[in-house]
Structure 1
C-alpha cells in the first residue's frame, strides 16, 4: 500500500519558498547528483500538491528541467483545490476533498510513495493523521521570510522517528 510522504527542500531557517512563493533561491542549490532524491524519484508513484504549489513558481521554469523533480517525474498528479481549471492539463486530476485526493493518489501510486508537495497540503495531511513520512533537504542559505516548512501556530505536537539516511532528514510520523 502506498505511503504518504511530504518532501521539500528548505533553507536553514525553515522556509521552502521565499516571499510571494518565490522559488528562484533554490536554483543554485539544485546542482550535482543527490542519491536520496534520485532514490525517492524512483519510488514515487503519484504526486499530491496544493493548487498554490501546482501553479506556483518553478526554479526551472522555461528550461528542460521544469516540473517536479527537475522535470524528471512523469506520472499521475493530483491537485487539492476548490478552484479547478475549466480545462485541466493532461495527467493532472483536480480534487476538492483531502481524503478523496489522498485515496485517489494512493490508488494511483500502488505500492510506491505519494509525494506531497506544498506546505499547506502537508499541514492538512498531518492534521488529518494521514501523513506517513517527512523528507527534508536543507540548502545552505537563510531566506529570512517566506513559506515555512510547517506553519501552524498553536498546532499539536507531532512525534517523528528518524529514518536512516546520510544526505537528508527523513522521518517516520509516529501515530
Structure 2
C-alpha cells in the first residue's frame, strides 16, 4: 500500500490560503519545480477536504481551472464531506468520514501516494496517525492572514524527520517524514 502525503505550497508566514480561502496569491508562485513534478507522477489518488474541493482555484479563469495540479494530474479523487452534491461529479467519490476516505483512497492509489489536499483534512490525518509524509513548498511571500498550514490548538508535538531540502525558482521545498 502507498503512503499518505500532504503536499502544499505555503507562504513564509505559514499560510496555505489567504483570507477567506483566497488562492490567487499562489498564481505567481506556480511554475517549474522538479520536486513537485516528480511527486505528481507518484500520486495514485487524492484525498481532498470539502472546503478545498469547493474553494478557490489559483487557475481561476484559465483552461486549467478545476483540474488537480492545474491539469498536471488526473485520477480518482475522494472528497471528505457530510453533504455530497445531488449531481455526481466525474472521477470524484464523496465520503462521509476520514477512515473510509483514507481506506478508499489507499485502495485506489495502490503503491502510489494518496495526496492530501486541505489543511483540515491534513490535521485530521495527523490526529488519526495516518499521515506518513509532508511536502511543503515555501513561497517567498508573507500573506499576513488566512488558512494556516496546520492549526492544532492544544495539540501534542508531532515529530518530523527531514527527507530532503531542495530549491526551485519560485519555492524552497521541505520534504518531511512523520516519525512514529
Q: TM-score range by the shorter chain?
A: over 0.9
Give the TM-score taking structure 1 as reference length.
0.97
Q: Which segments of 5 or more consecutive residues in structure 2 lack a partner in the other structure?
A: 168-172
Q: CA deviation at 1:72?
A: 1.4
Question: After the TM superposition, which parts of structure 1 deviate over 4 Å for at least 4 consecutive aligned residues?
Answer: none
Q: CA deviation at 1:87?
A: 1.2
Q: Which residue of 1 aligns with 2:41?
A: 42
Residues in 1 aligned to 2:75 and 2:62: alpha-carbon distance in whole angstroms: 19
Q: Does 1:173 align with 2:178?
A: yes
Q: Which residue of 2 aligns with 1:55?
A: 54
Q: Which residue of 2 aligns with 1:130?
A: 130
For residues 48-67 of structure 1, the C-alpha deviation after alignment (integer angstroms, 9 at most, x for no partner) is 00010001000102312222
Q: Does 1:150 align with 2:155?
A: no
Secondary structure at the residue paired with 2:111?
A: coil
Secondary structure at the residue paired with 1:121?
A: helix
Residues in 1 aligned to 2:104 and 2:61: alpha-carbon distance in whole angstroms: 30
Residues in 2 aligned to 1:164 and 1:136: alpha-carbon distance in whole angstroms: 11
Residues in 1 aligned to 2:164 and 2:52: alpha-carbon distance in whole angstroms: 28
What do you get for the CA RMSD once the two structures are aligned? 0.8
Q: CA deviation at 1:68?
A: 1.5
Residues in 2 aligned to 1:16 and 1:89: alpha-carbon distance in whole angstroms: 25
Q: Which residue of 1 aligns with 2:15?
A: 15
For residues 139-164 of structure 1, the C-alpha deviation after alignment (integer angstroms, 9 at most, x for no partner) is 11000000000001111100001112
Residues in 2 aligned to 1:88 and 1:51: alpha-carbon distance in whole angstroms: 15
Secondary structure at the residue paired with 2:100?
A: helix
Give the TM-score taking structure 2 as reference length.
0.94
For residues 1-40 of structure 1, the C-alpha deviation after alignment (integer angstroms, 9 at most, x for no partner) is 1100001000000000000000000011113x11001001
Do the aligned partners of 1:88 and 1:94 also contact (CA within 8 Å) in 2?
A: no
Matched pairs, number: 174
Q: CA deviation at 1:126?
A: 0.2
Residues in 2 aligned to 1:72 and 1:164: alpha-carbon distance in whole angstroms: 23
